[in-house]
Structure 1
């Protein structure tokens, strides 16, 4: 770009500075007149004309034989090869310099080259500044300073470098978010592990002090060990999902068969608190999916609804199939969640209830979200009917052919 710019500038200047033939002819005639006057009448006869043109046209300058300026336009330089030698009647030798209206042919290219250098320097500065900020940003990210951002240093640019800076900031923000999530997960895991480990230590201490309470203390140890095993299992499942490392097999299956089986099991278990779990609007939905992952997702949401429902409540699982999606609603009659906190219930170890008698680690909905999103689906929470309870939506898109979507079933 700089080379092309300097070329066109040079060509333009060359055209602008081409010689004017008419002016050259006038200057040549004026020089002939001055020459005849000096040759016939000496310097005194040509002096008025040289002084006058020196103040007006500035086309001639008279120098002596040694190159010293005598009369005329002082800005007209003496070029010995082009000067006219004039001899006065008294024998004195003079040199008459004539102004040339044509600029040197190399001058436009010199000007163009200078402009090119300046333009290239400005262009290099324009690009090198933001690139230096990007380089510094990458260096800070490598050092672990994930809060580094470069867009504020780039300014209001609207070019590819500005796009690159925005992409860099997006990458840095995502890395910072993942790092903070990892730190929060480690903190929450350590916190959740502390409680059963503390109870284990207390049980072992009591067992040593009171050997006669051995059966009761061993039962306590067994319960806490089971709790630790379940916690570690869910943490490992969530970690594998976040890392994209799953051992399940993708196969063609009917998701409604999957959901119906989960509803049957949940209904049986809910009878302990006189609750009912029922499936509505069931329709076959055959797709390519990891059955184990989606089973965990639907099971966690439905069991979570039963867990937080009061005695003798109804949990409704409503399924609706469209041309491309299966939309499942899980509606409970529990305490519900305020709108500002509904998005947080899908975070790991996030429990918004204050009832510590409700068992759980706060990982079930987090696992459900990861499993659903791995299948290109969505999961979110809304208020239940009439603002009571909670309604969780799970949307999974169809994958593979639809030839098998022909059966329909209903469960009471």
Structure 2
């Protein structure tokens, strides 16, 4: 908070100094104008004294009062004092001023021109005295005499204190959430992924609270990504360990029982194929999780792509008395990665063929609107429990017979997948700004609907997820 405090403090004082300088300059210019005006209006005090002297001596008190009434109040006052010490206009006269006026008249003639004795036609004695300043300001009380000096000092100290206090409060208010953000950033960098700051910042409004919410969103996303990577690594390690263990066992049995070599070699071949398939799917998933900025884009005819995939899958499906039917309702093209799209559709349709019962049909429909392309894949299998529908697109998510509405005893253990096919499909579709969702059909079976934007030639593949 220290550096922020001094920046605020110096900034306030610099602003205050500049403002004071401008105001002072303007005030000085106005004061100069006023002095010029006063100088123009000021009367000659000696001439005034002569006029008062002659008015009192020849015309009397009333004539002197009229002259005093015309006296400029901003100039040095001329007092007319009688023998009792009272001023002609009843203005208060401090004792020191009165004493000075009397002492001045006792001096030799001409040595004190600011004081003159005069008598009225009635013979009353008066003193015409040029006072040093206004009578109300002559010999003021001691406290009043020093008050302006004290006032300036008090005002200066008050301004410094108020500025210090304001700067301290403002710096604390601004630096407190920033300090929380800094501490949270250090904790997050050290591996504490559960770190959040909004519970410390509170219900503030403004940019700092927005930054705090963005930080919490980033930390939550980062925690999810890292946890997902850890889980993925753990799952991959587990998936690799099982076929490797079976391979090692088969090789050991070949050594111990040579007469079973042929059957064991089939098992080794099967497990090596499973390993190759797992590594291939994992590499595809890693590619989808990475940056596709270097991927090539082409115009992909979705109808032709689906026809090729279904032709290949029907070759195997007919061996199991199953069929895949395609309904093309419109010609549809988009700009994207043909290989990724092929993987996505192949995994979804192949999954439907795997779980649909014999002597049943997998329906694939392609439709197009003004801005979207929709591909639906429906099987006649057992369907999936509603609670599991949201997890089937997660890595290594497998659906067991207990998760289905009816058991599927025909499903062989060797035909179990790795739980990556639908994950790859989900990532590939989302890379193309599309969506994929699954739901159970009322008449039975599972339907997966894929929606893609009908892209233009200039549309690129997304580098991130929505």
Quote the residue 1:161 is aligned against. Answer: 208
Q: Render the CA deviation track for 1:77-124: whole Å, top value 9, x for unaligned.
A: xxxxx9967xxxxxxxxx952626767346445433322221111110
Q: Does 1:188 align with 2:244?
A: no
Per-residue deviation, 1:338: 2.3
> Is contact 1:238-1:367 (8 Å) kept?
yes
Residue 368 and residue 33 in structure 1: after superposition, are their counterparts in 2 closer, same or farther (change >3 A)? same
Among candidates 95, 101, 122, match of residue 35 of structure 1: 95
CA distance in 2, matches of 1:106, 1:393: 81
Per-residue deviation, 1:244: 2.2
> Is contact 1:254-1:285 (8 Å) kept?
yes
> Is contact 1:256-1:282 (8 Å) kept?
no
Per-residue deviation, 1:310: 1.2
Give the paired residue count. 336
Among candidates 392, 403, 406, match of residue 448 of structure 2: 392
Matched position secondary structure for 1:352: coil
CA distance in 1, matches of 2:13, 2:350: 72
Quote the residue 1:99 is aligned against. Answer: 144
CA distance in 2, matches of 1:5, 1:301: 69
> Is contact 1:332-1:384 (8 Å) kept?
no
CA distance in 2, matches of 1:106, 1:96: 19
Matched position secondary structure for 1:344: coil
Mapping of 1:11-410 within 5 angstroms? 32=92, 35=95, 96-97=141-142, 99=144, 104-105=151-152, 107-245=154-292, 248-354=295-401, 357=413, 358-386=415-443, 388-401=444-457
Residue 311 and residue 337 in structure 1: after superposition, are their counterparts in 2 closer, same or farther (change >3 A)? same
Gaps of 5+ in 2: 1-7, 25-72, 74-88, 100-135, 402-410, 459-466
Q: RMSD of the TM alignment (CA)? A: 3.3
CA distance in 2, matches of 1:30, 1:219: 134
CA distance in 1, matches of 2:91, 2:153: 27
Q: Does 1:3 align with 2:59?
A: no
Matched position secondary structure for 1:145: coil
CA distance in 1, matches of 2:207, 2:90: 61
Per-residue deviation, 1:263: 1.7
Per-residue deviation, 1:3: 2.6
> Is contact 1:6-1:113 (8 Å) kept?
no
Per-residue deviation, 1:198: 1.8
Per-residue deviation, 1:148: 0.8
> Is contact 2:94-2:138 (8 Å) kept?
no
Per-residue deviation, 1:179: 0.7
CA distance in 2, matches of 1:297, 1:30: 110
Per-residue deviation, 1:248: 4.8
Matched position secondary structure for 2:255: helix
> Is contact 1:234-1:363 (8 Å) kept?
yes
Q: Render the CA deviation track for 1:228-270: whole Å, top value 9, x for unaligned.
A: 0111110111011101248752111211110121122222221
CA distance in 1, matches of 2:321, 2:248: 36
CA distance in 1, matches of 2:314, 2:162: 83
> Is contact 2:352-2:379 (8 Å) kept?
yes
Q: Render the CA deviation track for 1:181-201: whole Å, top value 9, x for unaligned.
A: 011111111111122112112
Gaps of 5+ in 1: 15-20, 22-28, 40-81, 86-94, 403-412
Per-residue deviation, 1:37: 12
CA distance in 1, matches of 2:91, 2:237: 103
Which region of structure 1 is more displaced relative to structure 2, 202-211 or 348-357?
A: 348-357
Per-residue deviation, 1:7: 4.9
Quote the residue 1:58 is aligned against. Answer: none
CA distance in 1, matches of 2:90, 2:201: 62
- Superposition TM-score, scaled by structure 1 size: 0.74
> Is contact 2:97-2:138 (8 Å) kept?
no
